[in-house]
Amino acid sequence: MTEVGPRLARLRETLAEQGIDAAVVSHPANRGYLSGFIVDDHGPDEPEGMLVVDRDRARFFTSIVNLPWAAAAVAAGIEAVDWGRPWPLELGKALKGDGIAKLGIEDEALTVAALTGIEEGLEGRTEVVRLGRLVDELRSRKDASELAIIAEAIRITDEAFVAATTDLAAGTTEKQLAARLDQAMRDLGAEGPGFGTIVAAGPHAARPHHDPTDRQIEESEPVVIDMGARLRGYNADLTRTIWVGEPTERLRTLYTIVFGANAAVASGLVVGMSGNDADALAREPIAAAGYGDEFTHGTGHGLGIKVHEAPSLRKEGTDELLTGHVVTIEPGIYLPDWGGVRIEDVVVIEETGARILTGAPKLAP
């Protein structure tokens, strides 16, 4: 279990600066970050719980059915509480008696009905404000325990990639290779893939989010693999473009361009850089090579409990890189009816720049 005490302390400090007495944390990733209990909701109408943090206590409100499970999973010092039914109204009533003058609520993961129910339970005795991205921003900066888990998830991903692609032969289908990758991650200790593994061969490689099919891999064509292990609630993310046999001249050329763009970002990221400027590190060399319009997505994103989280490395991105941010670097070029090339690594931002965490081999351009 990760250490949540310092995280709760940072949240309380931030709340105090904004004059907020307590917070209702509803987003599953943020609840998990602050409580140590990482569990997804069944849907917006069926949350697994709500974490309430005030100046002195942290309580995980949940149903009586989930109470024993939650009590065993939350970090020490956090109380698991039955919230009753209907839960929004009863949660509001429970908080009404706490003397909270100003309550911050994370409302992105709440339905309008749930938010209304909480406010009805408060009976107008508490000012309610929206927390916005407050917890997301705290969660974006990883501590040592989080970095250790992410690094282990990445190691599993790296090793699974090598195990599943060594001796890859033409005639293997996209689905077969994806299944090998997923099984290799599990065999190495992962809970499973953190997202649907992408294997995109030939023309399919022009689709950044392709679902594997029964298409057979052919020699000399691009095969884009995008994969990531999930471990103790955290995710890895890795993309490599490979081929069977010798690459065509076009594939070699595009691979060299993307390889260079990936390296330019890894060496150029610094603390304080905006997401827009980070994106430009990859976009400019690709555009200079004549493929600017074929780079159709952002350069990268934050990685952690969620596969995609803050900060965002994209055009017009305003997020600022800070120490502790874990981000992907994934430039790509996509040509319809031919295929594409994408190379993705994960780095952690440190005072001296970006340190690469992924280690799966890249083919020499």
Give the position of tokens 């064509």. 221
- CA 194 to chain CA centroid, nearest Å: 9
29-48 confidence digits (pLDDT tens): 999 999 999 998 888 788 99
- CA 199 to chain CA centroid, nearest Å: 20
| DSSP H or E segment with residue 310 | strand 309-313
Alpha carbons 223 and 200: distance in angstroms, whole number: 6
**What is the model's pLDDT at position 1?**
47
**What is the model's pLDDT at position 108?**
86
Each residue's pLDDT expressed in tens, for the chain with a length of 365 residues: 468 999 999 999 999 999 999 999 999 999 999 999 999 888 878 899 999 999 999 999 999 999 999 999 999 999 999 999 999 999 999 999 898 999 999 988 899 999 999 999 999 999 999 999 999 999 999 999 999 999 999 999 999 999 999 999 999 999 999 999 999 999 999 999 999 999 999 999 999 999 999 999 999 999 999 999 999 999 999 999 999 999 999 999 999 999 999 999 999 999 999 999 999 999 999 999 999 999 999 999 999 999 999 999 999 999 999 999 999 999 999 999 999 999 999 999 999 999 999 999 998 77
DSSP secondary structure of 152-192: HHHHHHHHHHHHHHTT--TT-BHHHHHHHHHHHHHHTT-SE
Q: In the chain, count of helices (H) and strands (E)?
A: 10, 19
Contact assessment for residue 278 and residue 300, using Cβ atoms and an 8 Å cutoff: yes
**What is the model's pLDDT at position 285?**
98
Selection from 127, 130, 139, 134 nearest residue 110 by Cα: 130
3-state helix, strand, coil in the chain (%, to 5): 35, 25, 40
pTM of the entire predicted model: 0.95
Domain spans of the chain, in order of start: 5-138, 144-356
3 state DSSP class of 95: helix
Contacts of 277 (CB under 8 A, 6+ apart): none
Q: Tell me the β-bridge partners of 54.
A: 22
DSSP class of residue 349? E
What CATH number belongs to 144-356? 3.90.230.10
The CATH architecture annotation of domain 5-138 reads 3-Layer(aba) Sandwich (3.40)
- CA 146 to chain CA centroid, nearest Å: 12
**What is the model's pLDDT at position 43?**
80
DSSP class of residue 22? E
**What is the model's pLDDT at position 42?**
83
**What is the model's pLDDT at position 2?**
60
